[in-house]
Amino acid sequence: MTEVPLAGFEHALHVLPNGSYILFKADWCGDCRRGVPPVKEAVAAARATLLVVDVAQQPQEWKAAGHPLRGDPRFQLSGVPTLVLWRDGAVAAKLASTLEKAATAEAARSVAAEFIRQHSLA
């Protein structure tokens, strides 16, 4: 697992192995504080590579219309946490609102594990 700030994201993306997962999160986000640790565990249990990206230091920075990831057509992010499968230089699958709405850490773990299971077969 590698964690990078937004400023280091493009470089990390270019060296990311094919078939890796990218987890977009923010430390100030309640949904992320609840959901990120179990997602990390689910990816580790699958023995997959994970790149964790901190999207913003403050909520207003993330919510700004000009945030680079909000307008990036590769990711089309609208919320965090978001987990994506990066394959062949593109998003092959994305887990967003279901992960964001997971009410407990166990629910987040279950949702993430199922997402990984479904897409490891693809």
3-state secondary structure of 116: helix
- Catalytic residue numbers read 29, 32
Q: Annotate 36-54 with DSSP letters as a single string.
A: HHHHHHHHHHTT--EEEEE
Cα(11)–Cα(68) distance, rounded to whole angstroms? 15
